[in-house]
Amino acid sequence: MPDTIRAARPRQSSATAKDAINAAVDLFHRRWVLRILWELRGDPLTFRALQAACADVSPSVLNQRLAELRAAQLVEHEPRSGYRLSAHGRELVVAMQPLTRWAVRWWREVGAVTSG
């Protein structure tokens, strides 16, 4: 079965907490997904601006990830302004704020040890 959001997302009627978290983790585990979401946390970005913000991502990979994020309803595309987080994407950013705070504290305490 192809690696798509549709394949990872359970049917709504049979979704359990385990199914839902597994689908989310599967999506977030894909290379560049979290970076793309992070870069879109502010103002909308055009494809080129998003590619520049993500530095090393290839155009084909960025296109694939944006398609997956759009299918997951985390990202929207407006032809005039570019890509932006959807309501679900903005809700995700809020939900991840405690993890972000933890990561910053952790990095300050042990990050230099673990990175080198």
**Mean pLDDT computed over 30-36:** 95
Q: HSE (CB half, 13 Å, CA atoms) of 96?
A: 16
Tally Cβ neighbours within 10 Å of residue 50: 21
- Long-range contacts of residues 105-109, Cβ cutoff 8 Å, at least 24 apart: none
Range 5-114 has CATH code 3.40.50.620 = no
- Residue 1, pLDDT above cutoff 50: no
Residues of the chain with pLDDT > 90, as a percent, come to 71
Rounded to two decimals, what is the model's pTM?
Answer: 0.78
Q: Where are the domains of the chain?
A: 5-114
Of 15-19, 26-30, 61-65, the one with minimum mean pLDDT is: 15-19
